[in-house]
């Protein structure tokens, strides 16, 4: 593990953010379930998406190709037996639903962090279809034995939208039509728009009516050549960096894509940043920031970097609406608040977010990110408004979603050193 010190700096330049991790996961799984040959290009190749590819191979999909272009031939699938999702919650959750279509038992596990993340709501929903599920009191490793034939299910929507995505994506492969009713709050709802959009591209007949989703069964998926779009949640780091100190442009962004994290553009404007959108380019320049209130319920992945954005904004800020943050790679509410305070900020945790009292400058210091890639990168960005360096271990964890993040930030002026 590499330890680094980030010394901030005035950033100037253009960045091409990596492809979307959430789109890459979905494309790999959909292409694997489609009967025939699909090409997924501009895929994000990270530890998490490699775990998904391994799961696809384990259930019988053929995967070829080097780099970010993968040719996937699906159709003749089977229960995978045993699969290690490593640290990828998306792999674990989506694949558990997919495995329910097989008349055979599958076991899915992960690393220490993943084995602490809840699976109960998904397993309870699958059991309503006759699927036999096992777990360690709702935690991984999980076992799944189908066949899931579809029908009506209900699921708690307050923990993770990935559970609903899992049920949706397997539904066209099932014997009967599916009707999925989401009870309570529907957290991270924009990710479900992405799921439905991509299912349609691969030939599924699925619709949403409020909190009810209906999917036609027995259709399967058809092959489709898909190009993964750039990731707004990753673009948020250089964009916030520009707002804190400099002028940064990100390119290759599609403002018409259903990614919920494109809300970073509106959040930056709400906080007083100077934002220009010109086609597929977004430029953010330093300006005086002001405190604001932001509902993070639909965009929880932005929580760490938005907290950094507002840590030196004038006045108080409130981030709210995202209790599901407690079930991410770390308890992101607790870890983000600790990170902000460790470098001289003033943040207080709440049940669904945090309160931030803006300070003119931060002092820097050592932070603990608990292997959470988004907190690691947010802390590096925070160094721009620190009088001293921000230091941390295991900078490699950023490769989960943004391989090459330190190098790209250094190229536009971030001062860094290995310690």
- Residues with a known catalytic role: 301
Q: Are the CB atoms for 307 and 356 separated by under 8 Å?
A: yes
Query: Is residue 401 helix, strand or coil?
Result: coil
The answer to whether 147 touches 101, Cβ cutoff 8 Å, is yes
- List the strands of the sheet with 36-41, edge to edge: 62-64, 70-74, 36-41, 226-227
If you count DSSP H runs as helices and E runs as strands, how many of each does the chain have, helices first?
12, 24
Query: Per the structure block, which two tokens stand in for 162?
Result: 């990935």
Burial class (CB in 10 A: 0-12, 13-18, 19+), 401: buried
CB 273 within 8 A of CB 238: no
> Can you spell out the DSSP letters for 207-265?
EEETTEEEE-SS--B----EEPPBPHHHHHHHHHHHHHSEEEEE-S--TTS--GGGGHH
Query: Residue written as tokens 């209130």?
Result: 293
> Can you give the C-alpha Rg of the chain in angstroms?
21
397 closest CA partner among 412, 417, 384, 379: 379
User: Distance (Å, rounded) from C-alpha 147 to C-alpha 100?
Assistant: 6
């Amino acid at each position: 593990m590499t330890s680094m010190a980030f010394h901030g700096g005035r950033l100037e330049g253009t960045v091409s953010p990596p492809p979307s991790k959430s789109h890459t996961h979905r494309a790999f799984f959909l292409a694997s379930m489609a009967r025939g040959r699909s090409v997924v290009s501009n895929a994000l190749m990270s530890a998490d998406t490699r775990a998904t590819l391994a799961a696809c191979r384990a259930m019988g999909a053929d995967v070829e190709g080097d780099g970010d272009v993968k040719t996937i031939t699906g159709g003749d699938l089977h229960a995978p037996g045993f699969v290690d999702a490593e640290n990828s919650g998306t792999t674990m959750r989506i694949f558990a639903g997919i495995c329910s279509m097989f008349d055979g038992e599958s076991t899915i596990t992960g690393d220490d962090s993943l084995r602490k993340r809840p699976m109960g709501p998904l397993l309870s929903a699958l059991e309503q279809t006759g699927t036999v599920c096992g777990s360690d009191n709702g935690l991984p490793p999980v076992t799944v034995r189908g066949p899931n034939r579809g029908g009506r299910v209900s699921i708690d929507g307050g923990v993770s939208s990935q559970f609903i995505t899992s049920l949706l994506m397997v539904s066209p492969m099932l014997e009967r039509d599916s009707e999925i009713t989401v009870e309570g709050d529907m957290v991270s709802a924009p990710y479900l728009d992405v799921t439905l959009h991509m299912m349609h591209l691969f030939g599924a007949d699925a619709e949403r009516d409020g909190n009810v989703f209906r999917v036609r069964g027995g259709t399967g998926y058809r092959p489709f050549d898909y190009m993964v779009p750039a990731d707004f949640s990753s673009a948020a780091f250089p964009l916030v960096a520009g707002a804190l100190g400099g002028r940064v442009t990100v390119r290759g962004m599609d403002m018409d894509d259903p990614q919920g994290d494109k809300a970073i553009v509106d959040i930056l404007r709400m906080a007083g940043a100077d934002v220009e959108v010109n086609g597929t380019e977004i430029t953010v320049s330093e300006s005086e920031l002001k405190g604001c209130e932001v509902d993070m319920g639909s965009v929880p992945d932005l929580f760490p970097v938005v907290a950094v954005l507002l840590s030196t904004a004038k006045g108080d800020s409130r981030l709210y609406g995202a209790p599901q943050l407690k079930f991410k790679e770390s308890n992101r509410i607790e870890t983000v608040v600790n990170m902000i305070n460790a470098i001289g900020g003033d943040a207080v945790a709440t049940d669904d977010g945090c309160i931030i009292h803006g300070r003119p400058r931060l002092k820097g210091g050592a932070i603990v990110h608990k292997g959470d890639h988004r907190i690691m990168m947010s802390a590096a960005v925070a160094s721009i408004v620190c009088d001293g360096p921000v230091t941390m271990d295991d900078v490699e964890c950023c490769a989960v979603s943004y391989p090459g993040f330190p190098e790209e930030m250094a190229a536009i002026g971030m001062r860094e050193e290995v310690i």
